Amino acid sequence: MTSDNRCHARLTSRWVGAVLMSGIMLLQGCGGGAAPNPKPSAADPAVLLDQALKANASGDSAAAKGGFEALLRQDPNNKLAAYNLGVLAQQAGDDAAAAGHYKKTLELDPTYEPALYNLAILTNKQGDAQGAAALYERAIKADPRDANAHYNYGLLLRRLGNEQRAQSLIDQAIKLDPGLKQPAPVASTSG
């Protein structure tokens, strides 16, 4: 497994977990007050989000997709639904749909780091290194403690020949996550 794939696999599980926790915190924050809450209906955005997140966590991507789509129809400004549709599309190999969902997420919240990071991966995969670099910069600005963003941005800059900045980013990534390792040196093309 290449280092890019290890980071992507770690990213997917990390962000799915983060989104699940965001949904749980959102749902827990929906209560409160002294008066008991009426039983939420299935059309309640919090219920739709909870159902979609649970379906996704259990591996039922079709039900998760349907739930996130229903939530977006009801609440077109729900960044978690838009983002999770991007994750599902990316996992299914539909990079164009994934990019569209991540862009929608960023329209709703331009600093939403998981969408910035995932869109950077897709942009780089499509061959737009400069666009990916700009997205990694934004992701790091949004969350300076994201080791994977530092690491992947460093790998990208290394490939582009900016070895000094690349090594700085990789070193920072390893400092943030000691489980990351120095990548193999780039093979020389001279000689």
Helix or strand run (H / E) with residue 86: helix 79-91
Domain architecture of the chain: domains with CATH: 3-18+42-176 (1.25.40.10)
pTM comes to 0.76
DSSP per-residue letters across 138-187: HHHHH-TT-HHHHHHHHHHHHHTT-HHHHHHHHHHHHHH-TTS-PPPPPP
Q: In sequence order, what are the residues at sequence separation of 6 or more whose Cβ sits closer than 8 angstroms to the Cβ of residue 88?
A: 56, 61, 64, 65, 68
CA-wise closest residue to 99 among 111, 107, 90, 108: 90
What is the rounded (10 degree) CA torsion for 38, 39, 41, 45? 70
Q: Assess contact for 161 and 138: CB atoms under 8 A.
A: no
First vs last Cα of the chain: how many Å apart? Answer: 29
Q: How far apart are CA 133 and CA 1, in angstroms?
A: 23
Q: Using an 8 Å Cβ cutoff, are 112 and 105 in contact?
A: yes
- Taking only the tens of pLDDT, the chain with its 191 residues reads 444 444 444 444 444 444 444 444 444 444 444 444 444 455 788 888 899 999 989 999 999 999 999 999 999 999 999 999 999 999 999 999 999 999 999 999 999 999 999 999 999 999 999 999 999 999 999 999 999 999 999 999 999 999 999 999 999 999 999 999 998 876 655 54
